[in-house]
Structure 1
Amino acid sequence: MNNRQRELLKMLLLKEDLLIKQLSEELDCSEKTVRNDLDQLEEFLLDYPNADLIRKPGVGITLEISEEDRSTIFNSLLSSEPKSSEERVFEIAYVLLTSHKPIILQDLAHNYYVPKATIKKDMEIITEWLKDYYLELVSKPRLGTVLQGSELHKRNALAHLSQLIPTSDSEKNYVLDLFLPYEISTVRKALEDMQEKFSFAFTDEAFTSLVVHALVMIKRTRQRATVFVQELEINKAREYKEYQYTVWLFTRLESAFGMTFPEEEHVYFTWHLISSKRMEEGLQTVYDKNVTKIVNGLMEKMEVLTQFPFSDDSILLNGLEVHLYSVINRIKFGFPITNPLLVNIKKMYPYMFSMVILALEEINQAFDLEIPEDEAAYIVLHFQASIERLDRKKMEKKSALIVCHLGTGISRLLQAKIEQRYQEITIVACIGKSEVQDFLRKSQVDFIISTIPLKNLNNPQLVISPLFGKEDKEKLSQFVERLNEHNQKGFDPYVLSTYLEEDSVFLQVELEHRYEIVEMLATHLYEKGYVSKEYIHSAVNRERKSSTAIGGGIAIPHGDPSMIKQSVVVTAVLKKPIKWGEELVSVVFLLAISKKNHQDIRKIMGTIAALSESPKLVFQLTASKDYKSFIQTLKKKSE
């Protein structure tokens, strides 16, 4: 509503039988403009059941309204402030989404007291944003601009209007400001009572979303803009228990707002209840067999990719079933979400994000799904939490290998002393120096305790006396403490440098697009015999699905591990930073780590993630003149 319309509404709230001519004179505009403004006010007043604009020919215009609504509207008009450009875009988008009539740009310019060119720029912003909801603005000569698209897509856009205020507080949903306080409180209370009656609870985010969708539904029902639902879908919806929740909820809302919801709206809101995230506590799964198959398939694929026993984690199983039930139904019913944590999740958990994206490629194909990266990022948190639970269990017991050059008797005595003093350390074997390489090829340990120095090993090691005296005990205590700190930091440049080769580090690369860089690096791997030819397509296709930039000027593209013959990391240092998704990237690490070396992938990812938090070091890497200086710079952080 513009300033002139606000003044017109004030006049109607204060006086009766106002003539069009009188109004045009007081507002300093044409009579046609007054009539257009009255049409706009009629739409605005649809939100007030006890308000009616009466036009009496020859008598004038009168607003019949309850005193409660009159006071509410008048107070809101008095508190109105000039709109910012973001608020203007927000309001124009709202008008486009809710109006049945074409919108004239010149009228908008007049209403907001800005040039027409400014409104055109606003329209460009709105047009681009609406594409995500399959909606299109169409300009019709001599009529104005109209919005084309389904009612379902319009409602989705309405519910996500807050996205048009990018600088806003992410925890506040500005769409709620479009509705009256009593409407919000009534819907909120009805939903809270529904949760209590049927003994379940939505997450805070999902609950707020349901409030917004219910308010949008109420407004659009008043405007007689109902969603289209096929008869088959109506019958299917009635089979869900959530349909009964909706029936109960609508009885409350119909009584409170003095209106009746058609059957299509029952189905529409049932879909929202099915698709909303619920709290995991107290929920009994499984919701349906297909979800169970998808969850099991995803966990199996993730176990293969990460070598972590996810199937042992019942918490993960239950959490994924609850979450994916909502995800699959959001996709099915066409309720897309945006994940405000997406960028941060990519940066914080690059390894797990990459593994989930790879796993979902196979799951999407097997179950005819298309799970977007916004949804994938939430799935990452489930697997990351599981790994941290598994890691906590591992931290309770560190596995160590004893290498002793003095025979079995001394090594067993050393084992007994260590296990007696350090209950958190488990000795997995006592062997001689000649057996080390063969043992490590078959088994993994956290570190090695040796009575002699060992060369050419990646595993952390501590050299102590076979007698295990006081100094040795202190050394072992400090070693384990440093090892824990080191693992927490996740930075180990020596592991990364193990997979770097001089002819696989390209400096001063000049390519314009990230796909070209990924293809160039992957092709180099194929030509060197490290990967199969299919790996090139796999790496480029992975990049197309989701940007692999992790912040700090770094990207970590990668392909399917099953296509890797020999593990290697190939690197491109760009002459100038290029756009990589939504970020600028200067250093690219294409990771080709096979399954047999999978124990190192998390360390490599941790090292690169730590690099991304050191802009000075990344800048120094970009200045490297040769392979030697690149490696020296890379190792600086650990010194």
Structure 2
Amino acid sequence: MNNRQKELLRILLLQVEGVLQIKELSEKLDCAEKTVRNDLDKIEEFLLNYDSGSLIRKPGLGISIQIDKGERSKILQSLFSNEPKTNEERLIEIAYQLLTSNKPITLQHLSHQYYVPKATIKKDIETIAKWLGRFDLELVSKQRLGNVVQGTELQKRNALAHLSGIIPFTSSEKNVVLDLFLPYEIMTVKNGLEMMQRKFSIAFGEGALDSLVVHALIMIKRIRQREPIYVQAAEKEQAQERIEFQYATWFFEQLESVFSLAFPEEEKVYFTWHLISSKRMGTERDYTVTNEDEVTSIVDTLVAKISKLTLYQFDADGLLKNGLIFHLHSVINRVKFGFPITNPLLSNIKKMYPYMFNMVILAFEEIKKMYRLEIPEDEVAYIVLHFQASIERMENRKESKVKALIVCHMGIGMSRLLEAKIEQQYKNIEIVACIGKSDISSYLSVHQIDFIISTVPLESEGKENVIISPLFSQEDKKKLSQFVNMIEQKGPKEADYQLFSTFMLEELVCFCVQKDHRYEIVEMLATLLYKKGYVTKEFIHSAVNRERKSSTAIGGGIAIPHGNPQLIHKSAIAIALLKEPLEWENERVSIVFMLAISKEHQIDIRKVIGKIASLSENPLLIEELSRTKDYQTFLQLLEK
């Protein structure tokens, strides 16, 4: 086909609805109507290569092409695009154009630019509008003019820096934002930042350095477009007193000649904020934390609150505290200067560590009131990893040991020998004490153990026990090994079932629930708990607010909403089995467990959430549970 015939095909393919008359087509192509008819014959022949494609000629009405959506887009892109764009690339480029354009952009313009129907562009615009809301930006459609983004310059720059966030599963190996700039621009900025690090003996992490490159490139782009950042006089004075302002000033001096730009003071302040907010390599000793007192106070409060909520001794972990001070310094500055981040691990962290994620969210709700500091969930997820690492350090120190008491009738010497033999042979057993038979009752009244190893028969002491000889023969070793295996396998399973049944009641399980929004489900279950006397009325508002703060979906069709433990009279779990899966932010949920477990049962809530999380890994069971319509069947399935 010649260029005129290709243009005719393009016009017809973009006309998804309705028909075009021969006269109208001849005017668009600036040729005779007879020429159009001849060209249509050529197009009709071309469409024979596509199963769903055909040229429709309606005498007296007009011309159209009938073809499915996929083949329509394929033809448009293959014929007219020098570099065919994927859907993701098109989405990112359109968002970039909207954010950097001073004038409205029409659907027709974008349709012609990317050779796709206006309906496809309209869907792209809807996706972009929703994503822009994360940065408090609004995409406004002006009749006959087009689409334009409304918001502050700071908000637009933040959105530009996070363009990859439009595509949820963008490969981490490719920085889509950098693809929008010229190679020499990227290289110049990278070299300038590397020289700055060497000159001032500072080092930014790889991720932080990539972020600084992106922000610098966006800043250069916006200066060229005469779109300045606004900085208040007081903010400018504070920034100019920082050592990072000297770094920024030197950095821009290196760029001025290359880009033929003069960088205003406001832009230097803006980049200073980014330098302050970026995480550096090394430890907190490598540089001064200006707001150290405030950060330390927040960390102390956070650690104390989560220690109280979870009953873990986080306050004894110095490594945790140091790491949090170092990390929160950057977090607080990002929040202060309005530089939101996106955490690609957010969804996975919420699913892997639902208990700790919810505890950190709850602790920050109280910190928000005390320090007027609101930490977004993307930042919270990274902080969760600090606490989870601390737990793993503590668990590794404990080596998951079971606690055993030795009762020996042969005296202290034989008792200690037996203790040494057992601890040498069994790394998972911790001998807490060696006592005589007469001391058992008094010892157990003040100490917790898992079982008793005895050299003499025992009456019932309320604890499992195994009888071995003081000499600890090969037969005794085999006997003890079998006993320990039985304890480890038996205990948790019984405890898990008893734990669930402790907090679940038939009056708190709702079947075939149908609501339009997740907030309605949360409010319904919280209200049920209130009416049954398990929580205060304020718990309802607390639970809904918690859900607004961050989705409580943990994957696998399950959500675990909850409220402030201080508002609970008596621990309980309310459950909703949904008639149809409901959109729960980025998940689809079928079963909702409303957790109302008080502070006194924090050890239990860890086990409960762990049990629920294990359910989420069994989609067939979730499907079966969600279809149940009576309490006993539901319990039996959970027990199974």
2:277 touches 2:334 (CA, 8 Å); kept in 1? yes
Change over 3 Å in CA distance of 1:585–1:414 after alignment to 2? farther
**Which residue identity lines up with residue 159 of structure 1 in the other structure?**
A
Residue correspondence of structure 1 range 433-582 to structure 2 within 5 A? 443-445=447-449, 449=453, 461=464, 463-465=466-468, 467=470, 469-477=473-481, 493-494=496-497, 496-503=499-506, 506=509, 508-512=511-515, 513-582=517-586
Q: What TM-score, normalized by structure 1, do the two folds share?
A: 0.77
Q: Tell me the residue number matched to 1:418.
A: 419
**Which residue identity lines up with residue 582 of structure 1 in the other structure?**
N
Change over 3 Å in CA distance of 1:235–1:441 after alignment to 2? farther
The alignment status of 1:366 with 2:370, answered yes or no, reads yes
Change over 3 Å in CA distance of 1:153–1:597 after alignment to 2? closer
How far off is 1:227 after superposition?
Answer: 0.7
Residue correspondence of structure 1 range 188-207 to structure 2 within 5 A? 188-207=190-209
Q: Tell me the residue number matched to 2:380.
A: 376
Q: Find the aligned partners of 1:293 and 1:551 in 2 and give their Cα distance.
A: 35
1:504 touches 1:569 (CA, 8 Å); kept in 2? no
How far off is 1:382 after superposition?
Answer: 0.8
Q: Tell me the residue number matched to 1:328.
A: 332
Q: Tell me the residue number matched to 1:17.
A: none
Deviation digits for residues 382-440 of structure 1, max 9, x if unmatched? 111111111111117x3524386xx8768996575134431544333568999999977
Q: Find the aligned partners of 1:593 and 1:466 in 2 and give their Cα distance.
A: 45
How far off is 1:358 after superposition?
Answer: 0.6
**Which residue identity lines up with residue 544 of structure 1 in the other structure?**
R
The alignment status of 1:107 with 2:105, answered yes or no, reads no
Q: Find the aligned partners of 2:462 and 2:500 in 1 and give their Cα distance.
A: 14
Q: Tell me the residue number matched to 1:91.
A: 93
How far off is 1:143 after superposition?
Answer: 4.4
Q: Tell me the residue number matched to 1:395.
A: 399
Structure 1 stretch 343-352 or stretch 108-117: which is displaced more?
108-117
Deviation digits for residues 478-526 of structure 1, max 9, x if unmatched? 6657878999x99963353352444355252414143343344334444
* Secondary structure in 2 matching 1:497: helix
Change over 3 Å in CA distance of 1:384–1:575 after alignment to 2? same
How far off is 1:449 after superposition?
Answer: 5.0
Deviation digits for residues 173-225 of structure 1, max 9, x if unmatched? 11111111121122112222322333333232222111111111111122222
Change over 3 Å in CA distance of 1:101–1:632 after alignment to 2? closer
In structure 1, which of residues 225, 249, 252 is the aligned counterpart of residue 251 of structure 2?
249
**Which residue identity lines up with residue 194 of structure 2 in the other structure?**
E
Aligned residues: 557
The alignment status of 1:355 with 2:363, answered yes or no, reads no
Change over 3 Å in CA distance of 1:203–1:498 after alignment to 2? farther
Q: Find the aligned partners of 2:617 and 2:459 in 1 and give their Cα distance.
A: 34
2:540 touches 2:563 (CA, 8 Å); kept in 1? yes
**Which residue identity lines up with residue 620 of structure 2 in the other structure?**
K
Deviation digits for residues 126-147 of structure 1, max 9, x if unmatched? 2222222222333445544433
* Secondary structure in 2 matching 1:227: coil
Q: Tell me the residue number matched to 1:209.
A: 211
Q: Find the aligned partners of 1:248 and 1:142 in 2 and give their Cα distance.
A: 47
Q: Tell me the residue number matched to 2:605.
A: 601
**Which residue identity lines up with residue 402 of structure 1 in the other structure?**
L
1:566 touches 1:593 (CA, 8 Å); kept in 2? yes
Q: Tell me the residue number matched to 1:133.
A: 135
Q: Tell me the residue number matched to 1:274.
A: 276
The alignment status of 1:162 with 2:164, answered yes or no, reads yes
Q: Find the aligned partners of 1:265 and 1:182 in 2 and give their Cα distance.
A: 21
In structure 1, which of residues 176, 179, 200 is the aligned counterpart of residue 178 of structure 2?
176
Q: What TM-score, normalized by structure 2, do the two folds share?
A: 0.77
**Which residue identity lines up with residue 135 of structure 1 in the other structure?**
L
In structure 1, which of residues 216, 219, 233 is the aligned counterpart of residue 235 of structure 2?
233
**Which residue identity lines up with residue 202 of structure 1 in the other structure?**
F
**Which residue identity lines up with residue 331 of structure 1 in the other structure?**
V
How far off is 1:621 after superposition?
Answer: 2.5
1:538 touches 1:560 (CA, 8 Å); kept in 2? yes
Change over 3 Å in CA distance of 1:183–1:296 after alignment to 2? same
* Percent of aligned pairs sharing the same letter: 58
How far off is 1:315 after superposition?
Answer: 1.6
Gaps of 5+ in 2: 5-27, 31-79
**Which residue identity lines up with residue 190 of structure 1 in the other structure?**
G
2:513 touches 2:577 (CA, 8 Å); kept in 1? no
1:87 touches 1:165 (CA, 8 Å); kept in 2? no
> What do you get for the CA RMSD once the two structures are aligned?
3.6
**Which residue identity lines up with residue 128 of structure 2 in the other structure?**
I
Q: Find the aligned partners of 1:291 and 1:542 in 2 and give their Cα distance.
A: 24
In structure 1, which of residues 278, 298, 306 is the aligned counterpart of residue 302 of structure 2?
298
Structure 1 stretch 339-348 or stretch 443-452: which is displaced more?
443-452
**Which residue identity lines up with residue 226 of structure 1 in the other structure?**
P
1:507 touches 1:624 (CA, 8 Å); kept in 2? no
1:490 touches 1:610 (CA, 8 Å); kept in 2? no
Change over 3 Å in CA distance of 1:567–1:103 after alignment to 2? closer
Q: Find the aligned partners of 1:307 and 1:369 in 2 and give their Cα distance.
A: 25
Q: Find the aligned partners of 1:373 and 1:521 in 2 and give their Cα distance.
A: 24
* Secondary structure in 2 matching 1:170: coil
2:161 touches 2:177 (CA, 8 Å); kept in 1? yes
Change over 3 Å in CA distance of 1:131–1:394 after alignment to 2? same
In structure 1, which of residues 560, 583, 592 is the aligned counterpart of residue 596 of structure 2?
592
1:401 touches 1:430 (CA, 8 Å); kept in 2? no
Q: Find the aligned partners of 1:470 and 1:540 in 2 and give their Cα distance.
A: 60
Deviation digits for residues 15-64 of structure 1, max 9, x if unmatched? xxxxxxxxxxxx989xxxxxxxxxxxxxxxxxxxxxxxxxxxxxxxxxxx
* Secondary structure in 1 matching 2:286: coil
Structure 1 stretch 102-111 or stretch 379-388: which is displaced more?
102-111
